[in-house]
Structure 1
């Protein structure tokens, strides 16, 4: 009868059974926690020859278990709490101190977990994460980048990096300055990225062999494309549909982009204030139907110099 009335707060009775019939050792904490003061129940004084009475109905012996947990209600019925559910692998305790861990990784020191499975959904800044990591090419395609706002210099100089990060959610990113500069292996399909909040794209693919279709990018927030494709010797996708109406700085955008030859006449360059050497030494062989009245000769100095045959119509 161990625990039979355990923590039954409303039980204040004496139980008049023939105590001699109760095996010793089977009454452990039988009345513990009963009544308002924790001692409301008890056995009657045992009589040597108790009067004959009907035998009480037998009940099945309770299964021996660990100390039961009591329902936090006023009722004496005891109900065990359900077992806790298993936490998902992406629980908050997997979150990392990104700045600390990335420095440890770059220094060749052990990190808290393999970089491929880092929980980075809370990280807002990944600037310079793999800058100058010439041998880096780990698979980080499953990273949750939905909170990141700054990716400047992220793969600058990561010469071997070429993973398919086109699945990344970069919808909050505003800064991609030098993101892939000198990433001399990178050519992943990132044409589906939502870059609608990106303002800074200067030097993004400078000196990089990137040549994938990014013609559908929403560039309405971009304010600078300076040096965007400078020294990129392979890019030639059609980006004439870009909305660059907010862009002010086009300095050196296609400088030394030797094969780039796309007619960008549809571009709205009304906001442009800097266009120096924009197509210098490029493969451009089109006349651009832009309103030159808006573009002073000062801000467009050497704009087409050494290009294949770039010019204004």
Structure 2
């Protein structure tokens, strides 16, 4: 209980962290319990009710196939967050290990690894992801793979920069003097002392990953129908923008809400984990 009180006490000092935590918690709850929250089957077709306006039965109306838009937005939360969190986890683990290894080894190994990361970063992220998906095919797993490949280099650079700040500390030299193996120094000595920037970068990355995944779905190379997905809903509704403009507005609002939520959380974590602030928490 004391740990929980400490967390809440800390969050109260940082409004953006508090608001971001609440909003992200709401999103996670919606994603986990989406099938129970959605009032209708998001895949059920009902041509007789296509483009129905918002009502008590259909809070956000229906789409071109008569499917309940609210239910599809709710289930889309699970799809979008699933992709966003999966990609962020892959980038944090893979990019973190690459960056820490590069920063710790230094010399030619560091130069070689970072130049490889620079080559990947030289390609525009969305175009590189489109290229990968055009070769692998369209599926949720391939979307995660494609966006992860484009996101790992940035996380690696953040991790490397953090590693360089602590690489010369005495506890690292002491671990070397004890004859500890490289993997031990990286995971036990370096990682705990360089993880703060990686956590902040990962929390902010979730929103951008969801934006990228939605863009890929909008272009037809991401999540495929009939899976409920915000980008897919926008892509399908663009043909009916004048007939039913709200079909596009609802998923756009969902994407904006999610992106803002994770950005607020990331900004709050950045303030909390600032070395100048840690002593006051």
- Is TM-score (shorter-chain normalized) higher than 0.5? no
Bigger RCO (CA 8 Å, 6+ sep): 2
Structure number with higher helix proportion: 2
Name the TM-score, length of structure 1 as normaliser: 0.18
Name the TM-score, length of structure 2 as normaliser: 0.20
